[in-house]
Amino acid sequence: MTTDTAVQEVEVRGIGSGGVGVGTLPDGRVVFLPRTAPGDRVLARLVRDKARWARGEVVEVLRAGPGRRTPPCPRYGACDGCSLQHLEYGEQLGWKGRTVGETLRRIGGLELEDPPVEASPRELRYRNRMTFTLRRLPGGGVVAGLRELGRAGRILDVGGECLLPREELSRVWQDLRRSWGPGASFLPSGRELRLTLRQGDRGAALLIRGGRGDGRPAALLEGAPGLGSVWRELGNGTHKHMVGDGFLHVRWLGEQMELPGGGFLQVNREAGEALHGYVMDEAGPVSELPVVDAYCGVGVLGRALAGRGARVTGIEADPEAVAVAGTGAPEGFRVVEGRVEKVLGELLPASLVILNPPRTGLEDAVPPLLRGQAVRRLIYISCEPATLARDLARLGDSFSLGAVRCFDLFPQTGHIETVATLAGKEV
């Protein structure tokens, strides 16, 4: 940390990774400035001073850029839950499309225009899943909310004013805060807990991570009418149902699904269904064709493709997700438990392969497997443009890139989902 607290004028010229503004200091170094927009001219104080770059905080906005707005959330200036609320929503979408296009060109060596970005139907109040951190303080106090901006070790107390969770989920969070007892005594003991709320069609599920013991889950359920179940994450990554309805009920792509408390679906329901609908369109006719749904999770896409007559094999490493994917599965769908790099080679060739890996992208062994087998069509769903670009480059000349489209599943943040469709060449 620098001890020099002098402020400097900075012209913000762009937005970098994670939605952080980028400018240039008088000495030529790059400076990263959260909560700034292209065209802003600001007074900035350096809070991290390196030989080739610096990080600063805004003291005053001298001139606002053309896309700047007053953030709708009153806690935005102190909370690290969002990073782009100071930008008009159209500006957010434009930046995300440019970021994906530039990343695919720079890292992937691809020749393409900036891809279109499909807006979220909800700019605010879109999240059906929120994770909060609860910390017990000396003297019996409790703070519960999100990380403070620029102070990752501190928790900002956040209640119903947060504009990310859907209205019904926000009500559950507020009820839970009022009813968890003195010092949050109805929750497991311990200094810090992670509390994840997931909204379903028949109520919310609470998943508790950390701490000791189970607390009094029945009391939590009684004090929060919109809460349907309470779950506990165990040390081995599995989840224990403690009280209430055993499943989270969610209707997705026309199918009713029952998920455990730790089950995963996209946090933005409307935008997530739009993305999945687009993938189904890109898949084209699949009747009687062999399909691999890699990193399939609870099998939403694979089950839907099987419903159209495909012969689908899903691959998933999480045993709980495997159990959900296989329960009541339609004819033509099966799921294999295992890591994609270990299982994929046994399932190729295939007419269609869907890839939906984590943020880290494909394991090193996966691109060679795909290059060495006849795959007619490949659809890659990515939550990280840099690893998508790297993986597309690693697929080499075995595939030709077709359509690329982005979906804004996380308005007000720097995250973006991208779907790339590729056609396989003769092996």
- 201 and 223 belong to one structural domain: yes
Q: Copy the structure tokens of residue 402.
A: 């077709």
Claim to verify: residue 246 and residue 275 sit in the same structural domain = no
Bridge partner residues of 151 (DSSP): 148
Q: Same domain for 62 and 145? A: no
Angle, to 10 degrees, between the axis of helix 385-394 and the axis of helix 89-106? 30
Regarding whether 230 and 349 lie in a shared domain, the answer is: no
Whether residue 40 contacts residue 12, with contact meaning beta carbons closer than 8 Å, is answered with: yes
31, 260, 296 from 324: Cα distances, Å? 47, 8, 11
pTM of the model: 0.93
Domain check: are 281 and 245 in the same one? no
Q: In what order do the strands lie in the sheet with 129-136?
A: 151-157, 142-148, 129-136, 192-200, 203-209, 227-233, 239-244
Q: Answer with the one of 252, 286, 317 that is the final residue of a domain.
A: 252
Does one domain contain both 274 and 418? yes
Please check whether residues 61 and 14 belong to one and the same domain. yes
Cβ distance 16 to 27 under 8 Å? no
Specify if 113 maps to a domain: yes
Would you state the pLDDT for residue 23? 93
Q: What is the pLDDT of residue 426?
A: 67
State the Cα–Cα distance between residues 343 and 340, nearest whole angstrom: 5
User: What CATH number has the domain bearing residue 59?
Assistant: 2.40.50.140
Residue 382 lies in a domain: yes
* Cα separation, 266 vs 245, whole angstroms: 21
- One domain for residues 150 and 213: yes
Looking at 203, 223, 252, the residue that finishes a domain is: 252
What per-residue confidence (pLDDT) applies to 260? 73
At residue 313, φ and ψ (nearest 5 deg) are -120, 120
Residue 88 in domain: no
CATH number where 333 lies? 3.40.50.150
Q: 71: closest CA among 43, 92, 42, 49?
A: 92
Amino acid 331: pLDDT: 93
How many domains in the chain?
Answer: 3
CATH number for position 172: 2.40.50
Do 300 and 409 lie in one domain? The reply is: yes
* Claim to verify: residue 307 and residue 412 sit in the same structural domain: yes
What does the pLDDT read at residue 265? 76
Q: Are residues 245 and 277 in the same domain?
A: no
Q: Which domain holds residue 392?
A: 94-121+268-424
Residue 82 has phi, psi (to 5 degrees) of -130, 165
In a domain, 77, yes or no: no
pLDDT tens, per residue, the chain with 427 residues: 344 457 889 999 988 878 899 999 988 899 999 999 899 999 999 988 898 999 999 999 999 998 899 999 999 999 999 999 999 999 999 999 999 999 999 999 999 999 999 999 999 999 999 999 999 999 889 999 999 998 878 999 999 999 999 999 999 999 999 999 999 999 999 999 999 999 988 889 999 999 999 999 999 999 999 999 999 998 777 888 899 987 777 877 777 777 776 667 789 999 999 999 999 999 999 999 999 999 999 999 999 999 999 999 999 999 989 988 988 889 999 999 999 999 999 999 999 999 999 999 999 999 999 998 889 999 999 999 999 999 999 998 899 999 999 999 999 999 999 999 999 986 5
Q: Is residue 196 part of a domain?
A: yes
How far is 288 from 409, CA to CA, in rounded Å?
Answer: 32
Asked if 305 and 401 sit in the same domain, the reply is yes
